Amino acid sequence: MGKRALDDDFDLEVSDLEDLIGYNLKRASIAVQKHFRLAVGQDGLSARVLTALALTVKFPNITQSELARMLGIERSGLVAVVDELEARAYLRRAPVPGDRRVQALIPTEAGRAAYCATLRLVRAHEAELFQDLSPDERRLLLGLLKRIRAAEPK
């Protein structure tokens, strides 16, 4: 057993999973999403459907390709999401004059209302879950997370 092996053992002592940002990020994200599901309920929108609805409300007439790019998923994966939102009558696929390949996504009044209602639930859920973080700490955390997101590969 040479110095190399000893160094390895030392590394094991002083640094493990709990010191990795990625590990803590994932566990924290899972914790928040569990709480999210409890907050929006059994029949509530899933996180990914909510984000799709949010972007449709924010950018009416967005196309599915644009939406997929913003969400960071493939076009193919978005079909089921838009199907669900259309089945709930929260948006409709509308033809675009001038390019018959494209379907514009247009939120309905019910869609906007559902978005506002769900967002209110989610804000309440975050207020409760993060109650022992001060406003300064929340702002700090948000800023750090955005900087990490900005370093995303590809």
Interface with a second copy by CB under 8 A: which residues?
8, 11-12, 15-17, 19-36, 38, 47, 51, 54-55, 57-58, 72, 112-113, 115-116, 119-120, 122-123, 126, 129-130, 132-133, 137-138, 140-142, 144-149, 151-154
The least distance separating a second copy from the CB of residue 11, rounded to whole angstroms, comes to: 7
Q: How far is CA 109 from CA 30, 53, 55, 61, 121, in A?
A: 32, 12, 15, 14, 19
* Binding segment (CB under 7 A) for DNA, from list 1-9, 57-65, 109-117, 133-141: 57-65
The nearer residue to a second copy, 14 or 98, going by C-beta atoms, is 14
- Interatomic CA distance for residues 8 and 127, integer angstroms: 43
Helices (H), the chain: 3-14, 21-40, 47-58, 64-71, 75-87, 109-129, 135-150
Where do contacts with DNA occur on this chain (CB under 7 A)? 30, 46-49, 63-66, 72-80, 82, 93, 98-104
